[in-house]
Chains A and B, each alone.
Chain A
Amino acid sequence: MIKVEGFVEKGKVLGEYVNSTVDLFITGISLEERCPKGWQMLKEKNIKIKNKVIFYFKEVIKGFNQKSIENPQKYFDKLFDNSPRDCKLDVSLYDEITGLMELEKYLNDSFSELKDKKVVIDFSIMIKPYIFILLKYLLYVRNMEKIYLLYTEPASYHKLRLKKVLKNNNQEDSEYFTKGTVKIGEVPTYSGEQELTKKSALIVLLGFEGERAVQVLNAVSPDLTIPVNGFPAYRPEFKDRSILSNEELLKDSEIMKELMYAPANDPFETKNTLEEIYLKYYENYNISVSPLGTKPMAIGSCLFALEHSSVRIIYPYPLEYNIKSSKGFGEIWNYTVSILR
């Protein structure tokens, strides 16, 4: 049984590790402009990074090749000031388990003990199942007590796929978040421990891809569905956009009447909202959460599930992620997660 706590700071403050060192910095590559921002901020603050692990996602490298950049490896090496001692993991975006195994190999070789080290993860561009399994591994297997998370907001997102967009022959690859579906599955290690006699409740953290929410709903067929919208959103119009995108889910008045809100950029508030729902329903329902909203909200659901082993996380694994789904960058947030055992 663990208890997860934490607090949020804007990047400029950066709490405890200003004028300090970071033992391990973990991030990944993407074509999104916000990708290197967390790293650049640490550099600007003259924070010493002792070790660096970067997930070189194969699909991103391939995406770069298509855009005729001569050497994407070199491009990212330069972007992150990589030195030979930094660890670059060639992994697939779609295989978080192998990604984790590769990371484990590196950690076993580089650290005898990780528990008291200062680890910063920039998860701005990481896909959600990666974040979930990474946090579980570090907190449960490596027994870490504190982890620092960095998140750079996007300035905006590209337009979603709409029929009108399809009409336009100049459609770019950037006009979707995900494509297709591999499966609707439980995130590995987050299957929860369900009581077979209970009913089932599904909490959907709403995102911009409404069809995904309906997919999850159909796969789980819950007795109760509680949608949670990101509000306040990064930008005021995002709140309405996620409601409009989820019209298909919300047209059921039984679902609409349960609608709740949690801030789009505060994992701890999301966790509190989920906690509130949990307290109300856990006695009669097995709780499943589907993190389709922002990444900070997904972190909130991850922390919530880490605290409640009965909770399961359901994710619609897409066939394809858009490696350039956002434009520009906004605020940088620092989330400090502490575990009380």
Chain B
Amino acid sequence: MNKDQKMDLINPFASFNASLMNDDEIMKYWVQPQILFERQAIGVDLTGNIPVILMGGRGTGKTTLLKFMSNEVQVKKYLSEHKDGRNFFKDTPYIGVYYRFDGPSLSSFTDRHAEEVIWETLFKHYFEIVIGQKYIAMLLNLKKNKCLNFNSKSEKNIVYKAMMFIDTDYPQKEEICTLENFSKILQSMADKIFQFINEAPLQKEPEFRSRPIIPPGKLIFGMAELFIEEIPEFQRKNIVILLDEYENLLLQQQKIVNTLIKHVKQPVTFRIGARINGFRTYDTLNEGEFLMEDADYRKILFEDILLSHTEKYKNLLKEIARKRLESINMFNENNLTDIEEWLGNFDPVNEALEVVSGRKVQNHHINKYKNQKHIQEIIKELKKRNISDVEIDKLLPQLIYPKNTLIEMLNLLLLRRKYSPKEIINLFNSYIARKKNESKFEIYKDLYEKNKLALLFQLISLYSPKKKMYAGFDVFSMLTSGIIRNFLELCYQCFNIALFYEGEELLKKRRISQKYQTEGAETRAEKFYNVIDIIPKYGNNIKSLVGSLGAVFNACHMDSRLREPEVTYFCVDKSLLSEDVRKILNTAVQWSVLQQKKSMKSKSPTELLLDVYALNHILAPYFCISYRLRGRIPAFSKRDIETLIFGNDDEKRKTIRRLGRWLDIDKRQLSLFDLIEVEKGD
């Protein structure tokens, strides 16, 4: 390895925030999410006429997609694939104009000293200016890269007419009718707005006196029409305004943008990137009018689509990782670009064997083996039934299966569920002998396949301080909860640890150990948990709820009879909750701490549909719980939720005990409760 190669050994996953990536990086790391583009077949056309709302949690890939559709990236990509831009317009069905709503700026469009109506007018005016500037930048970009060749007459006509939209009194001298000058005029109008925003807090009754004020839609729709009138290439092309981080808009600002979406005029259309629950309102400025799905817009819910196509989602993750790995010479040159190869895949049987003995066990002497903790549990269960020691010694060899500890755990579970030893032995023998035509085989196989992960969690709890491993490509893809950034973060963390400990050796091993992967997953989970409290407004409440949920779910994992395996979600009738609690849940969903799943019927047929909230699986390593959606606990009441959010430690502890069916959990689990601050001095 030469010196340059050594320099190149850096973490391929070091940057993963699309909003911080420049156009070249977006192009470099872009992977077309086919699952999303395939939606065209069912009417959600990412480049077509109807506005589309792209809804998803933080890091699901909305920004990457919107930036990729921007004219800046369109042109760069085209030029990288063609010798010049002459045929750009022939080959593209739309031109994208990207704009991100900046939260801190938007929140300054309000101040107690000035009336609401002033801020509303000002925002409308500002938004027209911003999109006007974006249009100018788009034309200049297309012109500069020779993708568009419009003459000065067209330019003058566009600018002249656009200036007339703004104010007919503007001096319309021909020589000033250039895009650059128009840009300066718009900037000077924006300066007046900034001046007002800066001065308003120090004034008693501030008034915005600057004129003219651009009426809504005048530039946004008007200029686009002018492009078609004056530049033939724009005919039959959509101008797609790509608005990112819509959730940053204040309520009234959303109504303004909603009005534009409702009354969109071709060739303009919108693609709106928003967090889940990012729409505070679907109302427009016109009373009684609101945005209607299908009539006014189509919606794509990123997580739902990504998670409902497991294989396609995994392929997408693999492709994303491949681009990252290829970008680093050392990985690319050594053909180390397959993330599945780096992470391997998870095998619960092997992990269970490791837990028991620290190595794969082939032959066991029964007398020695029965000292293992899980076998002791089996013996304990048999003794509870008054079976003599002699009889136990006879039964035990028929209930153990050292090649697969999880089978032994299943036998233990069946004992706990009051199956007779004889029944269990019959089922077990049928399965081991692979008597596929017997119903016993199917019963046992079904029990085993469904519960092996849950059994692994139970096994690990017996062998404290051993911890559950979170490793393997499949596991990582489940831990992501459909959020691509989670995957990049997981990869970043485990590569970081592996590179730190192994350096260049890692390249020879071509595999990150399960230990480092688990450490990486734990680090990511901990970081995710630790920053929950800085979520605006409700962060502390959400953290309190999440800490309690983690404890409840963890307790459910320890239920010796596995009445509900791998509980990672809860149900509640949201209509019964207070406005505050609903807001807290909505915010938790908006920040992807919780994920709302399809409503389900209550266990009692007379009850209403319940709202379902799953904990983001990225937190699984923090709470030592599963990363799957399986068992279901009884619906939480209004009081349960309120206690988990607002209750004092004592109230929380009692509720957690009850909800977590904390019936037979021994002291081994107490450490977790200490960790999340719900257990004090009990």
Q: Do A and B come from one complex?
A: yes
- Report which A residues bind B (CB closer than 8 A): 97, 100, 133, 136-137, 140-141, 163, 166-167, 169, 179-186, 188-197, 211-212, 214-215, 217-223, 225, 248, 251-254, 288, 309, 312, 314, 316, 319
Which parts of B513-527 form the interface with A (CB within 8 Å)? 526-527
Q: Are B104 and A252 in contact (CB under 8 A)?
A: no
The answer for the CA separation of A130 and B31 in the assembled complex, in Å, is 47
Stretch at the interface among B182-190, B266-274, B361-369, B632-640: B182-190
Which among A192, A197, A219 is the interface contact of B187 at CB below 8 angstroms? A197
The answer for the CA separation of A196 and B134 in the assembled complex, in Å, is 9
A192 neighbours in B (Cβ, 8 Å):
194, 198
Q: Are A191 and B108 in contact (CB under 8 A)?
A: yes
B301 neighbours in A (Cβ, 8 Å):
none
| Closest-CB distance, A239 to chain B (whole angstroms) | 22
A211 neighbours in B (Cβ, 8 Å):
530-531, 534
Q: Are A186 and B107 in contact (CB under 8 A)?
A: yes
The answer for the CA separation of A163 and B533 in the assembled complex, in Å, is 13
Q: Chain A at the B interface: mostly helix, strand, loop or mixed?
A: mixed
Q: Are A97 and B112 in contact (CB under 8 A)?
A: yes
| Closest-CB distance, B13 to chain A (whole angstroms) | 10
The answer for the CA separation of A74 and B539 in the assembled complex, in Å, is 36
The answer for the CA separation of A185 and B111 in the assembled complex, in Å, is 12
B15 neighbours in A (Cβ, 8 Å):
252-254
Q: Are A137 and B202 in contact (CB under 8 A)?
A: yes
Given contacts A182-B536, A252-B15, A253-B14, whether A219 and B112 have CB atoms under 8 Å apart is: no
Residue of B nearest to A141 (CB): B202
Q: Does B22 contact A (CB under 8 A)?
A: yes
* Across the A-B interface, the 3 shortest Cβ-Cβ residue pairs: A221-B19, A188-B201, A193-B194
Residue of B nearest to A162 (CB): B530
B197 neighbours in A (Cβ, 8 Å):
191
Number of chain B residues close to chain A: CB under 8 A:
51
Q: Are A163 and B675 in contact (CB under 8 A)?
A: yes
Q: Are B198 and A189 in contact (CB under 8 A)?
A: yes
* 8 intermolecular pairs with C-beta atoms under 8 Å apart: A166-B675, A166-B676, A167-B674, A169-B680, A181-B534, A189-B199, A190-B198, A196-B133
Q: Are A186 and B675 in contact (CB under 8 A)?
A: no
Given contacts A179-B540, A181-B536, whether A314 and B104 have CB atoms under 8 Å apart is: yes
Q: Does B420 contact A (CB under 8 A)?
A: no
Q: Does B5 contact A (CB under 8 A)?
A: no
Q: Does B130 contact A (CB under 8 A)?
A: yes
| Closest-CB distance, A2 to chain B (whole angstroms) | 14
Centre residue among A179, A219, A225 by max chain B CB count within 10 A: A219
Q: Are B540 and A133 in contact (CB under 8 A)?
A: no
The answer for the CA separation of A211 and B527 in the assembled complex, in Å, is 9
Q: Are A251 and B14 in contact (CB under 8 A)?
A: yes
The answer for the CA separation of A137 and B198 in the assembled complex, in Å, is 12
The answer for the CA separation of A285 and B191 in the assembled complex, in Å, is 16
B186 neighbours in A (Cβ, 8 Å):
196
A189 neighbours in B (Cβ, 8 Å):
198-199, 201-202
B107 neighbours in A (Cβ, 8 Å):
183, 185-186
Which among B108, B112, B496 is the interface contact of A185 at CB below 8 angstroms? B108
B195 neighbours in A (Cβ, 8 Å):
193
The answer for the CA separation of A205 and B355 in the assembled complex, in Å, is 47
Q: Does B681 contact A (CB under 8 A)?
A: yes
B10 neighbours in A (Cβ, 8 Å):
253
Q: Are A181 and B20 in contact (CB under 8 A)?
A: no
The answer for the CA separation of A182 and B539 in the assembled complex, in Å, is 9
Residue of A nearest to B534 (CB): A181
Contact with A along B170-209 (1 / 0, CB 8 A): 0000000000000100110011001101110110000000
Contact with A along B522-550 (1 / 0, CB 8 A): 00001100110111110110000000000
| Closest-CB distance, A251 to chain B (whole angstroms) | 6
A181 neighbours in B (Cβ, 8 Å):
534-537, 539
Q: Does B438 contact A (CB under 8 A)?
A: no
Q: Are A197 and B133 in contact (CB under 8 A)?
A: yes
B100 neighbours in A (Cβ, 8 Å):
221
| Closest-CB distance, B189 to chain A (whole angstroms) | 10
Which among B198, B527, B676, B680 is the interface contact of A191 at CB below 8 angstroms? B198
Given contacts A193-B194, A253-B14, whether A133 and B537 have CB atoms under 8 Å apart is: no
Q: Are A220 and B102 in contact (CB under 8 A)?
A: yes
Residue of B nearest to A253 (CB): B14
Residue of B nearest to A140 (CB): B202
Residue of B nearest to A161 (CB): B530
Given contacts A197-B183, A221-B20, whether A186 and B536 have CB atoms under 8 Å apart is: no
| Closest-CB distance, B65 to chain A (whole angstroms) | 15
A214 neighbours in B (Cβ, 8 Å):
531
Residue of A nearest to B136 (CB): A197
Q: Are B540 and A180 in contact (CB under 8 A)?
A: yes
Which among A163, A191, A251 is the interface contact of B194 at CB below 8 angstroms? A191
